[in-house]
Structure 1
Amino acid sequence: MTDTTLPFSGAEGALSGLRILDFSHLLQGPFATQLLADLGADVIKIERPGKGDLFRSLTFRNKWVGGTESPNHLAWNRNKRSLALDLKSAEAREIIMKMAEEADVVVQNFRPGVMARLGYGYEAFAAVNPRIVYCSGSGYGEEGPYVSRPGQDMLIQGLTGIMAATGQADQPPTPVGAGFSDQVGAMNMVYGILAALLWRERSGKGQEIKVNLMAGMLAHQNQEMVMAMNFNEDFERPNSGIGHPGMDAPFGTYPTRDGWITIAMSPYARLVEVLGNPDLSRFDDPAILYDRRDEVWAALAEETRRFGSDDLLDRLLEADIWCGRVKSHLEVADDPQVRHMGMITSYTHPTAGEVKCVAPAVKFSDTPASIRRHAPLVGEHSREILAELGYDAAQLDQLAQKGVVGMGGPA
């Protein structure tokens, strides 16, 4: 495991010199800006004095890293600087618009209309800096029958078909075990922002980008939507461990003596040969493998249970059958391929101590992504950022005393 908190001594990041004003909170926006920060962008996280991003107060299983820090917040906010401002104050607006003069990107994922009502809509920033790229994230877009609804990940999964297509038919529809809608939304933010920046280099003009979770989840399920709409048939979830509602056997998850494995698209006859039971050949017909897929799965599972996972995987891989082990998060962290890729790292946090995390996933030959900063404390960089804008110590003290600016940092 590598600690990457030390000053970055290699080449500059691909986005070095880019400044982003980040008003986002929870997962979608913060993940998007963290991806950009990992590539060298200067991300200034603008949050509430004292409380900060809502994710600072939310956690899993009532556990806090180092006893104080939310793992949810730590996961999505490294490489950023925190500026704590009361957005409703006139002084804060003056500060933000002064930063906007030189900023490249604004990111926000408040409910539609909130930023505009506070005086921080796209038009306000564009009036100060016509080259600015302004990216908004929402649950359902900025108008329509759902516009006032909360745009939370699990709700979006339920509304866009993926939950109804996941799990077994005799069990409730199953949400993906991660914030999948939010993470898809974050990726859409990033590609929208990068495309707009490229267009700005060609045209000299900034623009507004609107990303919403519902549209993103539909786009990422296009093959399922194309199938359903063109045949006017919904998918039916299987009762067994078949891995997709549109697939036939053997595609799915199978038990072994000591765990579970996955088997993907593979020649059925070759699988039967490896399992060593010729009677399974009676299912070797495309129609049977789909129409009776639960029965086929059960018959295959009886055979896979006879093997230990390692033994069975060795046999399947030798026969060039697509397969893998089902692993928990902790098992993944110790996976030899994950270790080989350097995907598990850590950084040092002033209150949480060592924070183990996943490293940046995209590799660059000349401008590598890196972890240069810990996830900030609320207002940790307020003085630093405002000093860069020309505020002196007396002015900063006055702003802090009025509650306009929150000053934070390690005790």
Structure 2
Amino acid sequence: MMQPASLDDLKVLDLSQGIAGPLCAKILGDFGADVTKVEPLEGDKARRMAPFFGEEPHPEKSLVYLLVNLNKRGVKLNFEDKAGQDLLRQLARTSDIIVESFKPGYLASLGLDYESLARENPGLIMVSITPFGQTGPYSQYESEEIVTYALSGIMSISGVAAREPLKHGGFQSQYEGGYSGVVGTLAALHARDFSGEGQQVDISLQDVVASTLIIHQPFYSWAGAVQGRAKTSGRGSGQVIRCKDGYFVWQTGGGAEWHDIAEFFGREELKQERFSTLNGRTIHADDLDHIVVEATKDRTMHELFRTASEKYHMLFGIVQEPKDLAECQHLAAREFFQEVDHPVIGRIQVPFRLWSMSESSAQYRCPAPLLGQHNEEVYRERLGLDASAVAALAARGVI
């Protein structure tokens, strides 16, 4: 018998925009929290982020917005209006968690910062996810994904040695920031269980990405060494190699001895003494690269992957593209994807389940809200406003 959702006793206000904050709040919602997304009248900026369903720019067709705002109700609210600020204070009084991503100092200028709201709700937890955190000399600087990546240090080891540093694809700092926001929230909730007091959780995207340099940065701190970017050839293993229909990576280790690896690639010259040791393979890495490329150029990546993994127990991976992921039998078995039925977009499959739990796993309950979709529900049921008051606030441009 399934247990109740892990976080179904929590109320969350999601004031954040973009990806990191909304993703944090979405994951809390996946585990049962009652999440209300509070958007400005023009909507979250993510509504204007490509890609759009059907390649049609539309505030209800951004796939980014759809993905990071599942399992939420949605309302509109004008923070710049005094009446809007009062409504937010009322919502905050009965909330457990607020997730926000404004530039440090903005909420304080409106009297809506953590200290102000916590005076009326001492158990409140505010999770602030920003490019550089609430403190420090960069805290007021503007940033975007590529800026965060550059300043975190991870670009310095991304790419190849003979070329300029590169950024990983996608919005990795945003995703990592969202996940860190969830961890920080859960830690603050645990502390509240003992003290009864809430606190502000300060997430810096630069900190988050820099913290992933688990080996790279200590190299410099401890020994003054710099890892640098990879060479394009002469590495012997661990680099991307072209095969008949795609790319793969391999390296020694796992459950395979060198004679197993030589047999897998099917080239007698790999059984030569010069390749039998790590030192020998390093010295003769260019020759090893050439032999492996020739041995695999007419083999498909899925055949290589299955044979290497199942028969030889090698450390072997293939470079999967979106089509491969959508058809991946392993992800399907893990129930990684979720079909969402959106009132504008229709049915679409999205990544959903980040981890599984035997008794209270993540559950999909509703698609991302339309802009202002739950104004009536939230302002009337949660705050007790009547229909005329809600209509008047809408007419004044407050909600």
Q: Note the C-alpha offset of 1:170.
A: 2.9
Q: Describe how 1:125-204 pairs up with structure 2 within 5 A.
A: 125-204=117-196
Question: Percent of pairs identical after alignment?
Answer: 26
Aligned mate of 1:353, from 346, 355, 377: 346
Tell me which moved more, 364-373 or 97-106.
Answer: 364-373
Q: In structure 1, how many angstroms separate the alpha carbons of the residues matched to 2:30 and 2:285? A: 45
1:401 aligned to 2:395? yes
8 Å contact kept, 1:138–1:151: no
Q: In structure 2, how many angstroms separate the alpha carbons of the residues matched to 1:68 and 1:393? A: 26
Q: Describe how 1:9-408 pairs up with structure 2 within 5 A.
A: 11-49=3-41, 51-60=42-51, 63-64=55-56, 68-240=60-232, 249-266=236-253, 267-280=257-270, 281=272, 282-290=274-282, 293=285, 296-317=288-309, 318-388=311-381, 389-405=383-399
> Residue 262 of structure 2 aligns to which amino acid in structure 1?
V
Number of positions where the alignment pairs a residue of Structure 1 with one of Structure 2: 391
> Residue 54 of structure 1 aligns to which amino acid in structure 2?
K
Once the two structures are superposed, residues 5-32 of structure 1 have per-residue CA deviations (whole angstroms, 9 ceiling, x without a partner) of xxxx975321112001111000110010
Q: TM-score, normalising length from structure 2?
A: 0.91
Q: Note the C-alpha offset of 1:291.
A: 6.2
Instruction: Mark the runs of 5 or more structure 1 residues left unpaired by the alignment.
Output: 1-8, 243-247, 406-411
Q: Note the C-alpha offset of 1:207.
A: 0.8
Distance 1:151 1:67, change over 3 A: closer
Distance 1:112 1:241, change over 3 A: farther
Once the two structures are superposed, residues 20-55 of structure 1 have per-residue CA deviations (whole angstroms, 9 ceiling, x without a partner) of 111100011001010101001111111111x21001
Q: TM-score, normalising length from structure 1?
A: 0.89
Q: In structure 2, how many angstroms separate the alpha carbons of the residues matched to 1:210 and 1:38? A: 22
Distance 1:396 1:262, change over 3 A: same
Q: Note the C-alpha offset of 1:279.
A: 2.5
Q: Secondary structure in 1 aligned to 2:155?
A: coil
Distance 1:101 1:308, change over 3 A: closer
Tell me which moved more, 77-86 or 156-165.
Answer: 156-165
Q: Corresponding residue for 1:6?
A: none
8 Å contact kept, 1:241–1:253: no
Q: In structure 1, how many angstroms separate the alpha carbons of the residues matched to 2:300 and 2:157? A: 30
RMSD of equivalent CA atoms: 2.3
Distance 1:241 1:33, change over 3 A: farther
Q: In structure 2, how many angstroms separate the alpha carbons of the residues matched to 1:163 and 1:349? A: 37
Instruction: Mark the runs of 5 or more structure 2 residues left unpaired by the alignment.
Output: none
8 Å contact kept, 2:26–2:71: yes
Q: In structure 2, how many angstroms separate the alpha carbons of the residues matched to 1:137 and 1:167? A: 28
Q: In structure 2, how many angstroms separate the alpha carbons of the residues matched to 1:53 and 1:67? A: 9
Q: In structure 1, how many angstroms separate the alpha carbons of the residues matched to 2:19 and 2:375? A: 22
> Residue 261 of structure 1 aligns to which amino acid in structure 2?
F
Q: Corresponding residue for 1:408?
A: none
Distance 1:238 1:384, change over 3 A: same
Q: In structure 2, how many angstroms separate the alpha carbons of the residues matched to 1:21 and 1:67? A: 21
Q: Note the C-alpha offset of 1:300.
A: 2.1
8 Å contact kept, 1:65–1:71: no
> Residue 386 of structure 1 aligns to which amino acid in structure 2?
Y
Q: In structure 1, how many angstroms separate the alpha carbons of the residues matched to 2:102 and 2:59? A: 29
8 Å contact kept, 2:216–2:226: no
Q: Secondary structure in 1 aligned to 2:323?
A: helix
Once the two structures are superposed, residues 151-188 of structure 1 have per-residue CA deviations (whole angstroms, 9 ceiling, x without a partner) of 32221111222222122223332211121111111111
Q: Secondary structure in 2 aligned to 1:222?
A: coil
> Residue 340 of structure 2 aligns to which amino acid in structure 1?
Y
